[in-house]
Structure 1
Amino acid sequence: MKAWVGDREGAGLPAYMRDLVRLEELARLIELVSPLLIPGLLQSPSYARLIFEESLMGETGADLDELVALRCGRYEKLRSTNDPKVVAVFPETALTLVPEAVRVEQARHLVELTDTGRVRVHLVPSGSLLLGVTSMLLVFHMHDGGTAVSSDHVDGNVVYADSDGYARLQGLVKQALGAALPAGQSRKVLEELL
């Protein structure tokens, strides 16, 4: 009933915008803050495969090749539709603690993405924590001026329909950017990881 009233009165997000894919397609800017891993939208194939192999833990019926292709093709699909800018903040350890071949492929992929001028990466240096961000946080800035926020959880993504907490969540993005290296220094770190 609360969701119906919210839709009817215009509070929060309309039902059609609560889908993550739809939010990506309507965004002009996507801010991604991850306390542990590289955000899925920016993952290279070997990195995505590593994550899926761990998270699915041998689940039957999971087609890893298909999952990797879907995840790794997502950003290119967005480039051909709404071409959003992407700002990503994640720890340097998301790269340094994976196998070398995965690290090199992922670092190269991130450098290539930053070369487009549409992606900015900010690495949180080793020894620092993103305090306050306990799971992946996604902030979507829409072409119409609206904002939507979602968060990844162990078993899926939750889009926050109630915008009352958006100011606090957007504050966490600013806090994460403050803890991270500037984009230019982050790129130098990425190049050193190749």
Structure 2
Amino acid sequence: GGGAGWWHAYRGLIPPQYRDFISLESQARTARTLETSVVPGLLQTAGYARAVTRASLDGLPTGQLDSLVEVRLARQGVLRSDPPLRLSAVLDEAVLRREVGGRRVMREQLRHLSRVAQLPHVQLQLLPFSVGGYVGLTGPFVIFSFPTTSDLDVVVLDHLTSSLYLERKEDLEAYSSAFRTLQAHALSPEHSLDLIAAIDRDGQ
């Protein structure tokens, strides 16, 4: 990854588990993610990242808030590196309907998603409300896979106070299988772009 270890400059600010996550993300070849409540960090605009960070860390001093937003935007370098991280994301429709940061921030975020979704190494699929209850409604997860096959995939589950890293074969198989099911239930990438555009229009 280009500039591996850039996050060391933010050492005092980033909790160790977040550093571990960034380190995995920067080394991974592919990431598969389900998000049920917010736009994944790699796809967030600065305005959205700021609103999400402010909401989740109430009362944070402005300087620290700025730095955390910088970290989030710096992480997105993996999508521009050579070779780039291949990202497959399944987002619940609720993610795009929830007005984070107000209408203007949200409109900018929806348009950014449309652009990023058209990158060759990004696959974005939406789970529309019409799908009903689906597997994976248990909460968000990320599966990282690495360039060398000897490196096991890692599943990361995000909890409010900590992250859980799973590397057992059974867990990996369960989450990989859940992700395939989610992709099968989700709209195609093309229809997902149509839904993003429709939600953008609804918000006018």
Instruction: Report TM bin, short chain.
Output: 0.7 to 0.9
CA RMSD of aligned residues (A): 2.2
Q: How many residues align?
A: 177
Residue number in structure 2 paired with 1:47: 48
Hey, what does 1:109 align to over in structure 2? 112
CA distance in 1, matches of 2:185, 2:134: 7
Q: Name the SS for the 2:31 alignment partner.
A: strand
The 2-side partners of 1:51 and 1:62 are apart by 16
- State which of 136, 143, 148 in structure 1 corresponds to 2:147: 143
Is the Cα–Cα contact under 8 Å of residues 22 and 75 in structure 2 kept in the other structure?
no
Tell me by how many angstroms 1:161 deviates.
3.5
Matched, 1:132 2:129: no
- CA apart distance, 1:192: 2.9
Alpha-carbon distance between aligned partners in 2 of 1:157 and 1:61, rounded to the nearest angstrom: 25
- Contact 2:31-2:145 at 8 Å conserved across structures: yes
Does structure 2 retain, via aligned residues, the 8 Å contact 1:25–1:81?
no
Give the letter for the 2:92 counterpart: P
TM-score (norm 2): 0.77
Tell me the percent identity: 27
Q: Which residue of 1 aligns with 2:88?
A: 87
1:80 aligned counterpart, secondary structure: coil
The answer (yes or no) to whether the contact 1:39–1:136 under 8 Å persists in 2 is no
Single out whichever of 101-110 and 132-141 deviates more from structure 2: 132-141
Structure 2 stretches of 5 or more lacking a match?
A: 1-18
Q: Aligned partner of 1:140: which letter?
A: F
Counterpart check, 1:193 vs 2:194: no
TM-score (norm 1): 0.81
Identify the structure with bigger relative contact order (alpha carbons < 8 Å, sequence gap 6+). Answer: 1
Amino acid in structure 2 at the alignment position of 1:152: D
Aligned AA (1:89)? V
